[in-house]
Structure 1
Amino acid sequence: MQLPVYLYGQPVLRKVSEDIDAAYEGLEKLISDMWETMYHSDGIGLAAPQIGRAIRLLVIDAEPMAENFPECKGFKRCMINARIISSSEETCSEYEGCLSLPGIGENVIRPQEVTIEYVDEHFTSHREHLTGFAARVVQHEYDHLEGCLFIDKISPIRKQLIKGKLNKILKGQAYTTYRIAPMKK
């Protein structure tokens, strides 16, 4: 089932998410619904806060980016209770967008590499060292679990330049091809 996506201004997007365990009610269906929502929205990642749940759950399928970023080939993950445990000092800048910020995209500077620990949908533990765009996608979705949006990482001047677009989202004037949640204050 496609779930409504929560847009900029929704309080849940600014909350630090909580860990969950295998007994979390409806987890299997929630994960399935998140995949469906992400694919229908033409996203490559979706974090639980973006569908109104402040829990440490995210799904990523970066395969569509593999033509330009080979490290994304076959990169499909469900990550639960993820923690980034290290990141490189080396950074890079790439263009990012977000389902919660429709019509807005900016270059964001992030670490080039990260190491992340998480459990998958079967609660099997993983530790992965990621580089390039795969690392970027994970960091972007991980930030949602920490109550952070990519616009928090851009310069004040760039943020000022997109202020009008942000205000339109807050006023409910955003255009999307996917379902969105009604604005809660």
Structure 2
Amino acid sequence: MSRDTAQRPTADRASSIVSRRKVLTGLGATAAAGLAGCSGTESGGTETVDCHSSALEHGEGDVLDGGVMATVEDRDVRLVVPLSVETVRSQNVDRLELVDASGVVAHVIPVSPEDQNVMANKMGVGEGQLQYEQYLAQRPFHGQYRVIALDRSGTELDSITIEFNCFPELED
């Protein structure tokens, strides 16, 4: 499921790709935060009154360039993964696997460009976008997940590791 090491960039190019990834992850997380009604932080993560999310590592692909974030709806902590319909279609993205900190696949989210018809009615999802959400637990909940985008053959297309803290509801 890993990439062919012969296709990896040289050390010079790797440093520029890492910088690009940090920028894209930060921009994607900020964009996702904007869609979810949150404000971005300077650290490249997202932060609300309820949760703080940070991307720790990003794979070499571009499927997950929109970022991943934890959010709270009522008391439910959810992991939100925005994707581009065109990217899902062109790279044959079949599913997202959410791997917990112990290395166990905790959730599998089926992905399809056809989901755009349903998501078009969802608040905060723009044209040409998909937004998948996975319920994790009730807050307070803190964790780390590696989100892996896979094609139909099981080949890893991209990954992102996120950690988050979703705090108890604040009392007035």
Q: TM-score, normalising length from structure 2?
A: 0.27
Report 1 or 2 for greater relative contact order, CA contacts < 8 Å, sequence distance ≥ 6. Answer: 1
- The structure whose residues are more often helix, as a share, is 1
- The structure whose residues are more often strand, as a share, is 2
Q: TM-score, normalising length from structure 1?
A: 0.26
